[in-house]
Amino acid sequence: MKFSTLASGLLALAPFSAAAELAKRATLTRVNNFGSNPSGVRMYIYVPDKLQANPAILTAVHYCTGTANAFYTGTPYARLADQYGFIVIYPESPNDGGCWDVSSRATLTHDGGANSNSIANMVTYTIAQYKADPNRVFVAGTSSGAMMTNVLAATYPNLFKAASAYAGVAAGCFYTGTVAGWNSSCANGQSTASQSAWAQTAQNMYPGYTGPRPRMMIYHGSADSTIYPQNFNETLKQWAGVFGYTYGQPQQTLSNSPSSGYTKYVYGENLVGVYGAGVTHDIPVNGAADMQWFGLSGGSTTPSSSVGPGPTSTKVSTSTSATPSTPSGCTAERWGQCGGIGFSGCKTCASPYKCTFSNDWYSQCL
């Protein structure tokens, strides 16, 4: 799995001198024994000197090619933890290239024994170790980390209360049946489905779960040529379906929000999309907006002003790269794409799954 490095954009965003400021603060610390770690994910934690009683927890998940330390120094979350007294967990990928496993069956399954399982165990360890508030546990990530953010929201909805995903894909979209595999159809915006199909994909990751699910804020840029902008739409479809909203019909559409050049689509208290005109894959982290979304900085988590009805769809680039030829004799695993106009991948599903038609462009093994 290959992504362009986000470090330059993230470092440019942080409104402080990393070398000077980090020297004055508590330090990033490795935790070696946090419980079961089936996939070998490394845990780092930042506990501010002025920690609240029963603190909140933010799990900050790095991009592909990144590290825990790079995300610690290159995003504003540690500085904000100093300000608001919450704990930040920085998981570090054990996989080649630093990408997260968002593509294996195990990671897309609750307690499946892969990267998502290890990260969830870091959170439960931190709750117990620091007497943290289980009702204030959040997750945020960029690129591969945003993909993992969506996966964690689907596999551990009982654990996380809200999430913020920058330039990712819908949970399950990147499925390949391999650890940290690359899914070009998904990356190129070709994996499209109805909101009900995407919602079912997320719900299947924790069978039988009927409790509350984390509120989702989805960021993407219109000029993203690594994870194509169509993935913004597909991710909104997924969570709109989960929460019972209608994709393409947000309750509010706010121009130049949260900053100039961005448009915010507010579906309700549980789902917000933020789309940046001309923004590339190096999308900046908006720490202030995340703090508000998580309820860590006070105030409402959704906008109070109304700006007319939203568009029937979010217009984004749909250009794609060439699709590889179909491998002979292959089968697609559960949640994998198995058909659709222009699709040339595996069209036979592994038993007992069946190729289920979603629309002319997308069928999936369910």
The catalytic residue positions are 143
Q: What does DSSP say about strands 57-61 and 215-221: parallel, antiparallel, or unpaired?
A: unpaired
Maximum distance among all Cα pairs of the chain, rounded to whole angstroms: 59
Q: Name 191's Cβ contacts closer than 8 Å, sequence gap at least 6.
A: 169, 173, 183, 185, 234, 337, 362
Q: Name 192's Cβ contacts closer than 8 Å, sequence gap at least 6.
A: 230, 233, 234, 340, 359, 361, 362
Q: Are 130 and 47 in contact (CB under 8 A)?
A: yes
φ, ψ (nearest 5 deg) of residue 11: -65, -35
Task: State how far the Cα of 113 lies from the Cα of 117, in Å rounded to an integer.
Answer: 5
Q: Where are the beta strands (DSSP E) in the chain?
A: 29-31, 42-46, 57-61, 87-92, 137-142, 162-166, 215-221, 252-255, 262-268, 271-276, 337-339, 355-359, 362-365
